[in-house]
Structure 1
Amino acid sequence: MKNQLIKYAQYLFMLTLSMSVSLMTFAQDGGLDIDVSIGEPEWYQQTWVWVVGAAVFVLILVGLLRKKK
């Protein structure tokens, strides 16, 4: 009987704890949207820079790993 009461208390405690954590995480979302764009994007934020960099990387990798006879 005592073990069953302790187990019930543990379940109740875990339920209360999980619900309070859930409520705290929902309370974090205030729906505030802040725009922090300062101006022109940096060079490394441009898509074409990443495409060109990947192409150069692949060419260097092929050149290094190619077997020479």
Structure 2
Amino acid sequence: MSFPIEHIETFLKGLGPVGWIVFIALYALAVTFYVPGSLLTLLGGALFGPRLGVLAVLAGAFLGMAGNW
């Protein structure tokens, strides 16, 4: 089963400001289930820019690690 990253990008852009929260939740789930996050990290920067992208990635990574703990 293939799920291209473009589908996630289109979905998140369609959500508007709520897409930021959904991205953080998706990133946290990826961290929780040990999915490599490099594509999601790059997607965060592409969607939200370098500053907000870093914040979204860090928030998602922190929540995912806290969930694992």
The normalised TM-score by structure 2 is 0.30
Higher relative contact order, structure no. (Cα contacts within 8 Å, ≥ 6 residues apart): 2
Report the structure, 1 or 2, having the larger helix content.
Answer: 2
The structure that has the greater radius of gyration is: 1
TM-score w.r.t. the length of structure 1 is 0.30
